[in-house]
């Protein structure tokens, strides 16, 4: 297993470097010079040229790239060209909010999607199965920003059950910073009142974000369970008199969720990118809204840093998924 993990780690390095190079080129090849914005509304061409020189935007692209690679190699992702703050500091301030939202969404999608998919397979061609298929297709097709607004209108505006926006009530001190994840920090400090407040704030954004993932996991699980139920060991287990519930929820499910597990890994990247829209609508102070602002202001160092950090997280989650995959199905690790 160690060899397997090491192999996966080694494969990650060129992938991340490729991502880094591509993003740099895409950001810098475009006519994407923020000098004019920095120089101010009334700047003359000479003043704009002075700003361009000061920031090194007049250097050849390859030179700018080498300087940037050197910086990153020293663990410095640079300063935001708009705010002049270290981008790593801005991202680390915001990353826990995105991580918390993504993991809660993923957990919700998995906890609900796997049982629903299993039940749909067990009750194959029943009314429940048909309804599930329609709902999962709808879940994949519905735009998250539209769904988010509908949820806001119903649960926040009409029923007044849940907060409209934000991560914590205005004017109240958030949980003591330990991990930056409000749900975890409030539990670690035994502040259940704070946990409650953080929990009600995450319900709508997490549910919105999880919708497509939930539908996808349910469909993969359904397909996996249907396939496994045709295997001989299931018939032997039934013939041997095992309880049907045990056969399905223990033996069949374990052999069926390999596909769904891979899907969860892929979903993670999708969820982080979908978080951009969801964070904007629910005013969630995460990396997504930071990235949107960075793109709109051509703050290319911030954009590069966000891409790199999200890429590292995405790679780490995929390695984790591969490990789980290998644990569920030892043949995977043996292929190396």
The residue ranges that bind another protein (CB under 8 A) are: 30-45, 47-48, 50-51, 54, 79-80, 82-85, 90, 93, 149, 152-153, 156-157, 160-165, 168-171, 192-201, 280-283, 285, 289-290, 292-293, 295-299
Tell the smallest beta-carbon distance from residue 208 to another protein (Å).
Answer: 12
3-state secondary structure of 162: coil
Tell the smallest beta-carbon distance from residue 47 to another protein (Å).
Answer: 6
Tell the smallest beta-carbon distance from residue 170 to another protein (Å).
Answer: 6
Tell the smallest beta-carbon distance from residue 51 to another protein (Å).
Answer: 7
Tell the smallest beta-carbon distance from residue 149 to another protein (Å).
Answer: 6
**Between residues 16 and 36, which has the closer beta carbon with respect to another protein?**
36
Tell the smallest beta-carbon distance from residue 158 to another protein (Å).
Answer: 11
**Between residues 60 and 171, which has the closer beta carbon with respect to another protein?**
171
Which candidate, 63, 67, 35, 62, places its Cα nearest to that of 48? 35
Rg (CA), the chain: 24
Cβ atoms of 115 and 217 within 8 Å: the answer is no
Cβ atoms of 285 and 167 within 8 Å: the answer is yes
- How far, rounded to the nearest angstrom, does the alpha carbon of residue 188 sit from its chain's CA centroid? 24
**Between residues 112 and 149, which has the closer beta carbon with respect to another protein?**
149
**Between residues 64 and 262, which has the closer beta carbon with respect to another protein?**
64
- Joined tokens for residue 261: 């597990």
Q: What is the rounded CA–CA span in Å between residue 16 and residue 14?
A: 5
Which candidate, 263, 154, 257, 259, places its Cα nearest to that of 208? 154
**Between residues 41 and 232, which has the closer beta carbon with respect to another protein?**
41
3-state secondary structure of 79: strand
**Between residues 64 and 297, which has the closer beta carbon with respect to another protein?**
297
Q: What is the rounded CA–CA span in Å between residue 274 and residue 145?
A: 9
């Amino acid at each position: 297993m160690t060899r397997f993990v090491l192999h996966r780690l080694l494969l990650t390095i060129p992938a991340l470097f490729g991502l880094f190079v591509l993003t740099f080129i895409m950001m810098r090849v475009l006519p994407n010079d923020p000098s004019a914005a920095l120089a101010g509304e009334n700047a003359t061409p000479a003043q704009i040229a002075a700003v361009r020189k000061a920031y090194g935007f007049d250097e050849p692209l390859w030179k700018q790239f080498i300087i940037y690679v050197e910086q990153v190699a020293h663990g410095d992702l640079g300063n935001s060209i708009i705010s002049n703050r270290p981008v790593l500091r801005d991202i680390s301030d915001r990353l826990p909010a995105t991580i918390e939202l993504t993991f809660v969404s993923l957990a919700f999608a998995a906890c609900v999607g796997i049982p629903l998919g299993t039940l749909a397979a067990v009750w194959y061609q029943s009314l429940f199965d048909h309804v599930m298929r329609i709902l999962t297709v709808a879940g994949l097709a519905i735009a998250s920003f539209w769904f988010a607004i509908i949820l806001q209108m119903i649960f926040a505006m009409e029923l007044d059950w849940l907060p409209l926006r934000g991560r914590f009530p205005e004017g109240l001190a958030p949980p003591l910073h330990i991990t930056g994840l409000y749900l975890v920090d409030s539990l670690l400090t035994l502040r259940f009142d704070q946990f409650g407040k953080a929990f009600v704030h995450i319900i709508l954004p997490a549910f919105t974000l999880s919708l497509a993932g939930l539908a996808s996991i349910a469909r993969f699980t359904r397909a996996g369970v249907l396939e496994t139920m045709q295997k001989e060991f299931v018939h032997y287990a039934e013939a041997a008199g095992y309880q049907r519930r045990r056969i399905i929820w223990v033996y069949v499910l374990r052999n069926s969720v390999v596909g769904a597990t891979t899907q969860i890994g892929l979903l993670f990247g999708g969820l982080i990118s979908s978080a951009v829209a969801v964070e904007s609508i629910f005013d969630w102070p995460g990396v997504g809204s930071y990235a949107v602002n960075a793109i709109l202001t051509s703050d290319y160092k911030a954009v590069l840093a966000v891409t790199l950090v999200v890429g590292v997280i995405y790679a780490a989650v995929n390695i984790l998924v591969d490990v789980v995959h290998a644990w569920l199905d030892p043949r995977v690790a043996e292929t190396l």
